[in-house]
Amino acid sequence: MMGCLPTKQVGRSTHSLNPREAVALAAETSFTVNEVEALYDLFRKLSNSIIKDGLIHKEEFHLALFRNKKTNLFVDRVFDLFDQKGNGVIEFDEFVRSLSVFHPDAPEEQKAGFAFKLYDLRQTGFIERHELKEMVLALLDESDLNITSDAVEMIVDRTFDQADTKGDERIDQEEWNEFVKNNPYVLRNMTLPYLKDLTMIFPSFVIHSEVSEADMVA
C-alpha cells in the first residue's frame, strides 16, 4: 500500500524548512522555532533512513523510536496517532504536532487525550476492558517484561474499578480525564516508558538505531 502513495506530491523536494512553516508550527505547538528547526533536521534523517522519500514510513518509525522492526500493537497505535491524515506515512507537520503532546510544557489534558486514543483501539470513543488488556500486553511485550496473566488481569481490574465510575464496563473520555487527574502517575506508570520522555531522547536515539549514519544521509 505504501508504495502506491503519491510520494512526489506529499514529500519534500528541498532540504530546507520554510521559515514561515517553522513559525506557524511553533505558534500552534509547545516547541520554539529553534526546536522546530532542529526537529526538521531529525525528520530528514528519519524519513530517509529506509525509503528515501522525505516521509516517515512505519518501518522507519519502528526502527528509530523503538530500535526494532517487529510488529507490535503499541508501536502501531503510536504510529497511527502520529499519522493524523491517515495516509500511511508521517509528514513533517504531523511529526511536530504529535511530538508536541510529549513536550514538558504541553497541557496535561493533551497528554491524557493522546493516551486515551492510544487505548481506544476501535476508535469508538470508549476504552473497553479487552482493549485495555490488549494494550497492556503489547506494552509489556515492547518493554520485554514478563508478568503473569493474573497480574495483567489485576492491572485491568484495578484500572476499571477506579476509572469506570458509571459502571458500564467502558471508560469514556470524561472518566479517563478524572482518572488521570486523581492518579497523575498514570500517564507515566501504565507501562508507557517511551511516551513521556520522547522529546528528551530524540537528540540521541538516532545514534542507538541499528541504521548507520551513512544509510541515513539522503
- Which domains are present in the chain? 24-102 (1.10.238.10)
- Residue 199 has what pLDDT? 43
Q: Quote the distance between the C-alpha of residue 105 and its chain's center.
A: 17
Residue 161 confidence (pLDDT) above 90: yes
Cα distance between residue 182 and residue 168, in whole Å: 20
Residue 214 confidence (pLDDT) above 70: no
CB 66 within 8 A of CB 192: no
Residue 39 confidence (pLDDT) above 50: yes
- Span of 13-22, 32-41, 194-203 with lowest mean pLDDT: 194-203
CA-closest candidate to residue 93, choices 10, 153, 13, 157: 10
Cα distance between residue 16 and residue 36, in whole Å: 12
Most confident of 44-48, 64-68, 139-143: 44-48
Mean predicted lDDT score pLDDT of the chain: 78
End-to-end CA distance of the chain: 23
Q: What is this structure's pTM?
A: 0.75
